[in-house]
């Protein structure tokens, strides 16, 4: 492993990419400590001390949200814009046509995604400024507008950093920014566990159980994330002139968790809405209703798991075009052994995808409720482990490792994976 890391720095191009990525990480971490003007930091800290409503958003922003810095919204508006564009591609013919135009179509889609990011970021920044106006020193319309513009500018700058990392660094820049924010919270979480041990709140056995569960869950997530069903494909032989083409065998890899982390984001957004509204509407029945949806309650956990299963099937059905797979196989002379081309092939692939998606949906539901289970088993509160953060960290690490591996292998070096 250490020799493989040394090989990275033997390749000048890869070394420059890694250094550039680390510099961008440093810029991102520096920005998380630059406060938004006109905001009382102590009032923000009191809001975060009252509950874990904003804990997940603060985790993604690397602590910038709890400090209400210029990167408080992180890259979330860009992610939302990308998801919206991906869903609209299915229903808007123009976007669907762009998706088939290769690099030129990708440029057009990226341009629209950027404009949509600016609109969503400004809308979110205004809502955040109004919702947290008790922390603003002078809550006038002008002050709220200045804060909203500052937050929007921070998100746009992060979007630019992510694109620069993708173009000149290693891995997907947007994903790596979220990865850096989550990993940055690791020292704080370790410090929290250490303070619990010093105060006698938990025992060393609790800490040991927490470490074992963390290690097992990382292995389990890697196993599921890399898992796929390989549907065998054969290609018929074709004789063109004096040459014979085809006659080969291949496979279609259908991922167990094709939806990734998107269903968890959708489900958490839906469930956080009533709780968020109740924070700013002092009506008794609204507060009572929001109490049933409080994070970790049995009702909230059950609905959370069911929503994740639903969104897993929904997102997979929208993004995986089984009909196109069957049509392309038929067009290029491919077929599944024992299955007729055309409609029977489409039905077979749809059945296989439905079955493996069920396993992926239950996996995501389990990962999402894992923090509550870990807290109950170890009695360690205030340390977020599992769910979206675990999936993102493992997924980004695997993808970045594979990209580095491909660069190393291209230059005949032994890489990370054997």
63-119 tens-digit pLDDT: 666 677 888 888 888 888 888 888 788 788 888 888 777 788 888 888 899 999 999
Q: In CATH, what class is 1-201?
A: mainly alpha
Residue with the two structure tokens 């209703």: 289
CATH topology identical between 1-201 and 203-379:
yes
Distance, in Å, from the CA atom of 268 to the CA atom of 258, rounded to the nearest integer, reads 19
pLDDT tens digit sequence for 237-264: 666 666 665 566 778 888 888 887 778 8
Between residues 161 and 92, the one the model is more confident about: 161
Question: Facing residues of 250 across strands?
Answer: 233
Between residues 140 and 382, the one the model is more confident about: 140
Is residue 390 within 8 A of residue 214, CB to CB? The reply is: no
Third-level CATH fold of 203-379: Preprotein translocase SecY subunit (1.10.3370)
- pLDDT for the residue 198: 82
**Torsion of Cα atoms, 21 then 23 then 24 then 29, to 10°:** 130
For residues 49-60, average pLDDT: 56
Query: What is the three-class DSSP state of 358?
Result: helix
Q: How would residue 160 be classed by pLDDT, with cut points 50, 70 and 90?
A: very high
pLDDT tens digit sequence for 191-229: 878 887 887 777 888 888 888 888 888 888 888 888 888
Q: Check whether 414 has a pLDDT greater than 80.
A: no
For residues 404-413, average pLDDT: 70
Question: Facing residues of 13 across strands?
Answer: none
| b/e per residue 23-39 (b: at least 16 CB within 10 A) | ebbeebbebbeebbebb
Is residue 206 within 8 A of residue 379, CB to CB? The reply is: yes
For residues 323-327, average pLDDT: 83
- pLDDT for the residue 416: 47
Q: Report how far apart, in Å, the C-alpha atoms of 137 and of each of 11, 67, 154, 300 are.
A: 52, 15, 21, 35
- Please give the model's pTM, rounded to 2 decimal places: 0.77
How much of the chain exceeds pLDDT 70, in percent?
A: 80
Q: Report how far apart, in Å, the C-alpha atoms of 279 and of each of 54, 131, 272 are.
A: 11, 9, 11
Is residue 107 within 8 A of residue 167, CB to CB? The reply is: no
Q: Check whether 1 has a pLDDT greater than 60.
A: no
Q: Check whether 415 has a pLDDT greater than 50.
A: no
pLDDT tens digit sequence for 376-400: 777 776 666 666 777 888 888 888 8
Q: Check whether 50 has a pLDDT greater than 60.
A: no
Between residues 39 and 379, the one the model is more confident about: 39
Q: Check whether 34 has a pLDDT greater than 80.
A: yes
Q: Where are the domains of the chain?
A: 1-201, 203-379
Q: What is the largest CA-CA distance in the chain?
A: 83
pLDDT tens digit sequence for 268-321: 777 776 666 666 666 676 667 666 766 667 787 888 889 889 988 988 888 888
For residues 15-36, average pLDDT: 87
- pLDDT for the residue 175: 83
Q: Chain-wide mean pLDDT for the chain?
A: 79
- pLDDT for the residue 336: 83
pLDDT tens digit sequence for 164-188: 998 888 888 888 888 888 888 788 7
């Amino acid at each position: 492993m250490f020799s493989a890391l040394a090989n990275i720095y033997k390749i000048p191009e890869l070394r420059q990419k890694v250094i550039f990525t680390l510099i961008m990480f440093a810029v991102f971490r520096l920005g998380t400590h630059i406060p938004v003007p006109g905001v009382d930091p102590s009032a923000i800290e009191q809001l975060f001390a009252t509950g874990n409503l904003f804990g997940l958003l603060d985790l993604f922003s690397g602590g910038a949200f709890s400090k209400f810095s210029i990167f408080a919204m992180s890259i979330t508006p860009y992610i939302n814009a990308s998801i919206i564009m991906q869903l609209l591609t299915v229903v808007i013919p123009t976007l669907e046509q762009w998706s088939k135009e290769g690099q030129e179509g990708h440029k057009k889609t990226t341009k629209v995604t950027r404009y949509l990011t600016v609109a969503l970021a400004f809308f979110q920044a205004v809502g955040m400024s109004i919702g947290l106006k008790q922390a603003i020193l002078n809550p006038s319309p002008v002050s709220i507008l200045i804060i909203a513009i500052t937050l929007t500018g921070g998100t746009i700058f992060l979007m630019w950093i992510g694109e620069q990392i993708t173009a000149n660094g290693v891995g997907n820049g947007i994903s790596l920014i979220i990865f850096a924010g989550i990993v940055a919270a690791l020292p704080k979480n370790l410090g929290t566990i250490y303070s619990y041990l010093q105060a006698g709140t938990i025992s060393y056995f609790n800490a040991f159980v927490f470490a074992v569960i963390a290690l097992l869950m990382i292995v389990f997530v890697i196993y599921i994330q890399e898992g796929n069903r390989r549907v065998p494909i054969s290609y018929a032989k074709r004789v063109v002139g004096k040459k014979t083409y085809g006659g080969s065998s291949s496979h279609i890899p259908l991922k167990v968790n094709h939806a990734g982390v998107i269903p968890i984001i959708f489900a958490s957004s839906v469930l956080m809405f009533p709780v968020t509204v109740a924070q700013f509407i002092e009506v008794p029945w609204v507060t009572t209703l929001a109490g049933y949806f409080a994070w970790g309650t049995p009702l909230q956990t059950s609905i959370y798991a069911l929503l994740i299963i639903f969104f897993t099937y929904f997102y997979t059905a929208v993004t995986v075009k089984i009909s196109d797979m069957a049509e392309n196989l038929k067009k290029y002379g491919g077929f599944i052994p024992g299955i007729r081309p055309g409609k029977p092939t489409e039905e077979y692939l749809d059945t296989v995808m439905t079955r493996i998606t069920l396993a992926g949906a239950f996996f995501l539901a389990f990962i999402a409720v894992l923090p509550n289970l870990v807290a109950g088993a170890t009695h360690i509160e205030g340390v977020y482990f599992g769910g979206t953060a675990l999936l993102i960290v493992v997924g980004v690490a695997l993808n970045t490792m594979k990209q580095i591996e491909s660069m190393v292998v291209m230059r005949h070096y032994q890489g990370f994976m054997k």
